[in-house]
Structure 1
Amino acid sequence: MTEAATIPLRSPARARLLWLVVVLAALLLLGALSVAIGTRQVGLDDILAGLRGEVGTIAQAAVSARIPRTVLAVLAGASLGLSGALMQGVTRNPLADPGILGVNTGAALAVVVAVAWFQISAAQSFIWVAILGAGATAVFVYAIGSLGRGGATPLKLALAGTATSIALYSLVVAVMLTRGDIAGGLQAWQIGGVGGATFARMGPVLPFLAAGLLLAMASARKLNSLALGDEMAAGLGERVALARAMAALSAILLCGATTAVCGPIGFVGLIVPHLCRLLVGVDHRWLLPFSALTGAALLVASDVAGRIIARPAELDVGIVTAFIGAPFFIWIVRRQRVRDL
């Protein structure tokens, strides 16, 4: 029996509202910790001055640098959590995640090739290239996973995505080895992180994230219909191919744009939807916004943890999410059982 079948479709409205308050409060608290915690200790006066844009002291400058970093972590976490929920809804696959399905790596390879071979340097170009790479990889993995008897089962998609991700990562390394002059910067970006964020750097990606968010919210009811099966959805008047394409495009926009600015960050899209289903059920009208908020909270928490664990240095957020996500992935596989996938 799948996870979707064991969780009731509706949770009491009061419980959902309570969890909404809890998640929002946690996100606000984590945002405050992100601004306050770092290599340099800062006081409340420094935080308030930094929020006003003052940079007269080193502590105030540190706060001013942490604010855009926190905002980027919120945007990236929300986008990855939302894209994971969309991918799981589109494929009806509990293992779907931008990292596991290879979408992140496809976006990363496209960016690396664009930089190394075509000398692309404009931020807008990075975003388009990453989105195209993510889209092409998603189509390829789904096509491979659909071969043979049974169509695109969760296990076949996970195996196809993992194999594709390994192959694409090998190509990323091969390309970087031929360009020692840019390998250092690309290697740091390849880990996945939010350090060095600026509002100017985030500006070009915002329209893509906004478009992905709008498409995602418009897909919520359609994903509820798809969860009943393609035949039932069609019987209810849903245009199945269009519904799937809209939700998939939203996930690709969110994942590709986030990868362009942060690098490939894995497992957020796997962990968050499962956690949110436990809180609010499988109704995508609630699941999608909760996945966005919880993904934002998870990535901010991972960024703060990376600063604390390796102090005075830092662990990039992509490393922290990998430490969290790998055991979670194993737990899901054991819980679902391979024969049920």
Structure 2
Amino acid sequence: MMRAERPHRFAGFAILLGLLVLTVGLSLTVGARAVPWDEVWAGLLGQIDSIGAAAVAVRVPRTALAVLAGGALGLAGAVMQGISRNPLADPGILGVNAGAALFVVIGIAWFDISGAQNFLWLGIAGAGLTAVFVYLVGATGQGGATPLKLTLAGTATSVAVSAFIIAVVLPRNDIAGSVQSWQVGGVGGARFDTLLPAVPFAVVGLLLSLASARVLNALALGEELATGLGQSVALGRLMAAAGAVVLCGTATALCGPIGFVGLVVPHLCRMIAGVDYKLVLPLSTLAGASMLGLSDVLGRVVARPNELDVGIVTAFVGAPFFIWTVRNNRMRGL
């Protein structure tokens, strides 16, 4: 049986890897202006003699940001669903993205903090504290941290934090426009000087999350059985949660709070690879990068010559999927 499944799983990796390559190609060529491949190569080589090549030079960091943020959110969503055994776990639904955004906005509005490195630390701190808060609220009462209680606690926290962000920004006309645009979630205007400082954070989050695959597989069988199998449940959960928090904070600091990527992607990957997190986690990284990249391309096409921010596009895709998941899972754990 295992031998029969392996070609299917390898095919899943190949398909998602090919989809990611296609996504990168579309992101470089499609936009308000279509760019032929000869000008794409010129733009990649740093030549900006033509309008098309100059457009490609601008799209390269934008594409890199979409791939990095999408992969981070997809992987973080898979880890969160594994930790909580909650099919509705997602950085947006659990309020983690909103918490990261709150810390960044407070840093800008109250402390005049600037610089990509500082925003990354603020985003990670906000994501971590919000995740702890939501878990503590969801764990109170009878039954502990059930999927329903975590989802309700995260949704309520997200709404409250979003309202507080508005209260912080409203008196500051000098930053209101840029912050409100950032809150929608987008990858436009990306630059390598702001993207490169995020790479070490993303790598740390990636390694912590991938290293937690064995613990997540054990947790899927139940905490008691996981402990009986020799897994350190508390340490494994802490490591997995740390990886997810770093990834969420990094993506939010760069792009603003983007929802539903971490919800949709892990479910699709489990259809390909089953429930083995050693496969689900890397597949979620590839699929998340592709989903955000394709959403960015779609946002450029549907509103030409203007653009829809990628956060709006993912909401259109993710909201119906969220409703479908609720109806089909009826709030059961994974």
Q: TM-score, normalised to structure 1's length?
A: 0.96
The corresponding residue for 1:280 is 273
- Whole-angstrom distance in 2 between the partners of 1:235 and 1:23: 35
* Contact map agreement 1:9 1:283 (CA 8 A) in 2: no
From 13, 28, 38, the equivalent of 1:35 is 28
The corresponding residue for 1:261 is 254
Aligned residues between the structures: 334
Query: Which letter maps to 2:126?
Result: G
Matches within 5 A, 1:113-128: 113-128=106-121
- Whole-angstrom distance in 1 between the partners of 2:289 and 2:127: 21
Query: Which letter maps to 1:319?
Result: I
SS in 2 for 1:214: helix
- Whole-angstrom distance in 1 between the partners of 2:221 and 2:160: 34
The corresponding residue for 1:87 is 80
From 57, 80, 100, the equivalent of 1:64 is 57
- Whole-angstrom distance in 1 between the partners of 2:186 and 2:243: 22
* Contact map agreement 2:87 2:332 (CA 8 A) in 1: no
The corresponding residue for 1:271 is 264
- Whole-angstrom distance in 1 between the partners of 2:130 and 2:4: 36
Matches within 5 A, 1:192-203: 192-203=185-196
From 22, 29, 51, the equivalent of 2:44 is 51
Q: Which runs of 4+ in 1 moved over 2 A?
A: 8-11, 338-341
Q: How far is 1:337 from its partner?
A: 1.8
- Whole-angstrom distance in 1 between the partners of 2:60 and 2:120: 23
The corresponding residue for 2:152 is 159
Please list the CA deviations of residues 50-88 of structure 1 after superposition, one character each: whole Å capped at 9, or x if unmatched. 111111122110011111111111111100000000000
- Whole-angstrom distance in 2 between the partners of 1:275 and 1:225: 21
The corresponding residue for 1:133 is 126
From 309, 316, 323, the equivalent of 1:330 is 323
- Whole-angstrom distance in 1 between the partners of 2:307 and 2:117: 28
Q: Structure 2 vs 1, CA of residues 314 and 331 (structure 1 numbering), >3 Å: closer, same or farther?
A: same
- Whole-angstrom distance in 2 between the partners of 1:212 and 1:338: 28
- Whole-angstrom distance in 1 between the partners of 2:17 and 2:122: 33
The corresponding residue for 2:174 is 181
- The reply on whether 1:316 has 2:309 as its aligned counterpart is yes
Q: Structure 2 vs 1, CA of residues 187 and 274 (structure 1 numbering), >3 Å: closer, same or farther?
A: same
Query: Which letter maps to 1:290?
Result: L
How well do the aligned residues superpose, as a CA RMSD in angstroms?
1.5
The corresponding residue for 1:239 is 232
Q: How far is 1:30 from its partner?
A: 1.4
Q: Percent identity?
A: 60
The corresponding residue for 2:95 is 102
- The reply on whether 1:228 has 2:221 as its aligned counterpart is yes
Q: Structure 2 vs 1, CA of residues 58 and 295 (structure 1 numbering), >3 Å: closer, same or farther?
A: same
* Contact map agreement 2:147 2:332 (CA 8 A) in 1: no
Q: Structure 2 vs 1, CA of residues 203 and 11 (structure 1 numbering), >3 Å: closer, same or farther?
A: farther
* Contact map agreement 1:10 1:281 (CA 8 A) in 2: no
Q: 5+ residue gaps in structure 1?
A: 1-7
- Whole-angstrom distance in 2 between the partners of 1:41 and 1:92: 44
Q: How far is 1:234 from its partner?
A: 0.9
The corresponding residue for 1:3 is none
Q: How far is 1:339 from its partner?
A: 7.3
Q: How far is 1:9 from its partner?
A: 9.9
Q: TM-score, normalised to structure 2's length?
A: 0.98
Q: How far is 1:41 from its partner?
A: 2.5
Query: Which letter maps to 1:284?
Result: Y
- Whole-angstrom distance in 2 between the partners of 1:10 and 1:196: 47
- The reply on whether 1:12 has 2:2 as its aligned counterpart is no
Query: Which letter maps to 1:291?
Result: S
SS in 2 for 1:12: helix
- Whole-angstrom distance in 2 between the partners of 1:337 and 1:116: 41
- Whole-angstrom distance in 1 between the partners of 2:162 and 2:266: 26
Q: How far is 1:218 from its partner?
A: 0.9
- Whole-angstrom distance in 1 between the partners of 2:303 and 2:166: 26
